[in-house]
Every structure is written in structure tokens, then in C-alpha cells.
């Protein structure tokens, strides 16, 4: 299971396709939504963002297998990997145009 632990507005603007939005402030109260025995990968804004580290610590402390995605959503999108944006109740692909000189 891939968790986006950024604030909901950031998830709505763009996220890794298939990721579940579970902002760090809600993670503890929504823990039951993550089935026991499920491996979790958490991500946030990038390598220096602590939300994903905090999520891994919280999940691991409660007996869950959790890892942090090394990079975050900005790097994922810049590499033109599958992304989505939330539009009402349906998911639509986002279009990412890399800046000149970007990876």
C-alpha cells in the first residue's frame, strides 16, 4: 500500500497514481484502514520532508511493515512516472511538463 502523507490539498493537486491519501495528522486515527500484514510505503514532499519519516516511525511502532519512498511526489512527477489528480470522485491522469534542464 502506498500512502501519501502530505496534506489533503497537496494530494488533490497531484499524487502518485494509486496512492491513498492519509495526511500525517490523520494517520493514527485512520490506522484501521491499513490491513494488518500489509506492507506500506509512505511518501511526502521529497527527501527532506519529515512526514514520511514520522509515518514510518508511527507505523513501525505499531507493528506494521513500513518504508519511506526515498524521494517524494515532486521527484516522481519530474521523472514522468504515473501520477493522478483528484477531480471530484474520479481520478484523472495529470500532465507533467518538466522544466528546461530538469531530470
Catalytic residues: 44
C-alpha torsion 77→55→66→8, nearest 10 = -40
Instruction: Give the containing element (helix H, strand E) for 26.
Output: helix 24-27
At which residue does the C-alpha cell 489533503 appear?
Answer: 8
* Residues in contact with 87: Cβ distance below 8 Å, sequence separation at least 6, in sequence order: none
Largest alpha-carbon pair distance within the chain? Answer: 44
Amino acid at each position: 500500500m502506498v500512502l501519501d502523507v502530505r496534506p489533503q490539498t497537496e494530494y488533490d493537486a497531484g499524487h502518485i497514481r494509486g496512492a491513498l491519501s492519509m495526511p500525517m495528522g490523520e494517520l493514527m486515527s485512520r490506522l484501521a484502514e491499513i490491513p494488518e500484514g500489509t506492507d506500506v510505503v509512505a511518501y511526502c514532499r521529497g527527501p527532506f520532508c519529515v512526514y514520511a519519516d514520522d509515518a514510518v516511525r508511527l507505523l513501525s511502532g505499531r507493528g506494521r511493515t513500513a518504508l519511506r519512498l526515498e524521494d517524494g511526489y515532486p521527484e516522481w512527477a519530474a521523472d514522468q512516472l504515473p501520477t493522478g489528480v483528484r477531480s471530484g470522485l474520479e481520478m484523472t491522469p495529470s500532465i507533467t511538463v518538466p522544466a528546461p534542464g530538469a531530470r
